Amino acid sequence: MANPHLLNEYTKGGLLRLTYQCKDINSAPIDPGDFTVKIKDPTGTVSSFIYGTDIEVVRLDTGLFKIDVSLTESGLWHHRAQVSGLGQSAVERSFFVQPSKFDS
C-alpha cells in the first residue's frame, strides 16, 4: 500500500509514542486544565483518553504528555490533542501505517 499523503510512515505491529507540549501565550510550559487525546484508526474507530482518568496518558514534565499507540491496522491514522480551561488549544496530526510484508 503506497503512502499517498507523504506523512510520517510506520510499520503495522509497531508502537508509536506521541508527545504533546502545552504552553501558555508566552510559550512557557504549563499544566493544562483538562487534557484529552483522541486516536482514530484506519477502520474509523475513535478512542479517547483523558489525563488523570486514563492511565494511557502520562505526564512527563510540566506541560509535557505522552501516549503510546499500538499500530494494529495499516492505513491512515489521525490523532488530536485538546486542552480546555487553562491553556485552551487543539492540534490534529496524521500518520500512515504500512502493512507488514509478513501479513498474508
Span 60-104, pLDDT tens digits = 999 999 999 999 999 999 999 999 988 889 999 999 999 988 876
Which pTM was predicted?
Answer: 0.88
pLDDT band, residue 33 (cuts 50/70/90): confident
Mean pLDDT (the chain) is 91
Output phi, psi for 30, to 5 deg. Answer: -140, 150
Q: Pick the range with the lowest mean pLDDT from 18-22, 25-29, 36-40, 78-82.
A: 25-29
Q: So what's the architecture of 9-98 in CATH?
A: Sandwich (2.60)
CA torsion angle 84 61 39 97 (round to 10): 150
User: What is the model's pLDDT at position 104?
Assistant: 61
Sign of CA dihedral 25, 29, 31, 34: positive
User: What is the model's pLDDT at position 1?
Assistant: 47
Mean of pLDDT values over 26-37: 92
Give the residue extent of every domain in the chain.
Answer: 9-98
